[in-house]
């Protein structure tokens, strides 16, 4: 009986040592998160309960000849009001469901008969593409009201685009200073 207990103890000790050595062998890492919450923020006009509607237009599926083709850009502005003097600049981070072929694009809402082979591309006011889940360029703010200009367009993800509804929904957050 003693021999069996000793054998079990040795086996358990060997497994424990192996587990510890495997855990240590991978090394360790660390992430420090920093940031702040401020009272000095603007009021966002277009919220979830008061969304901004941007009409991208209607295009023929045959207008897309290759992946990466785009339609005309349609402008829109994110309105911020009551910005305090301490809010000097802001960037915008657009969130939503990424297109499965091109993660930088906003995926179309999966309505019945939805168009395929296309997503929605966002741009800053200089025409620079903004990838979804990535902060835009920084815009200067003035005390009071501000309108941050952006554009959006359809962008093909395949050489063949099929016809159908081509709607999308993006949320956004404002990143100050």
**DSSP characters over 165-177:** ------EEEEEE-
16 domain residue, yes or no: no
- Domain assignment present for 10: no
CATH code (residue 168)? 2.60.40.1090
Name the domain count of the chain: 1
Determine, yes or no, domain membership for 3.
no
- 8 inside domain: no
pLDDT at 21: 47
Does residue 89 fall inside a structural domain?
yes
pTM: 0.79
Domain that residue 150 falls in: 43-176
pLDDT of 36 reads 74
User: Cβ distance 116 to 161 under 8 Å?
Assistant: yes
- Over residues 63-82, the pLDDT tens digits come to 999 999 999 999 999 999 99
* Nearest in space to 88 (alpha carbons), one of 47, 143, 132: 143
Each residue's pLDDT tens digit, 142-158: 999 999 999 999 999 99
Measured CA distances, 12 to 15, 16, 32 (Å): 5, 6, 36
Asked if residue 168 belongs to a domain, the reply is yes
Is 31 among the domain residues? Answer: no
What is the number of H-type helices and E-type strands within the chain? 1, 8
Question: Would you tell me how many other CB atoms lie within 10 Å of the CB of residue 83?
Answer: 21
Kindly state whether residue 7 falls inside one of the protein's structural domains. Answer: no
Q: pLDDT tens, 109-151?
A: 999 999 999 999 999 999 999 999 999 999 999 999 999 999 9
């Amino acid at each position: 009986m003693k021999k069996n207990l000793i054998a079990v103890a040795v086996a358990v000790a060997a497994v424990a040592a192996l587990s510890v050595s495997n855990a240590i062998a991978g090394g360790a890492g660390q992430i420090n998160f920093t940031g702040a919450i401020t009272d000095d923020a603007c009021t966002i006009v277009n919220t979830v309960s008061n969304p901004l509607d941007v009409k991208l237009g209607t295009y023929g599926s045959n207008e897309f000849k290759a992946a990466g083709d785009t339609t005309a850009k349609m402008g829109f502005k994110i309105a911020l009001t009551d910005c305090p003097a301490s809010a000097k600049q802001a960037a915008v981070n657009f969130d939503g469901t990424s297109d499965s072929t091109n993660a930088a694009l906003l995926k179309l809402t999966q309505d019945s008969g939805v168009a395929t082979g296309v997503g929605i591309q966002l741009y800053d006011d200089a025409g620079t593409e903004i990838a979804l889940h990535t902060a835009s360029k920084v815009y200067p703010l003035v005390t009071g009201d501000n309108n941050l200009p952006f554009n959006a367009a359809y962008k093909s993800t395949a050489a063949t685009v099929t016809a159908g509804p081509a709607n999308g929904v993006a949320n956004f957050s404002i990143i100050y200073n």
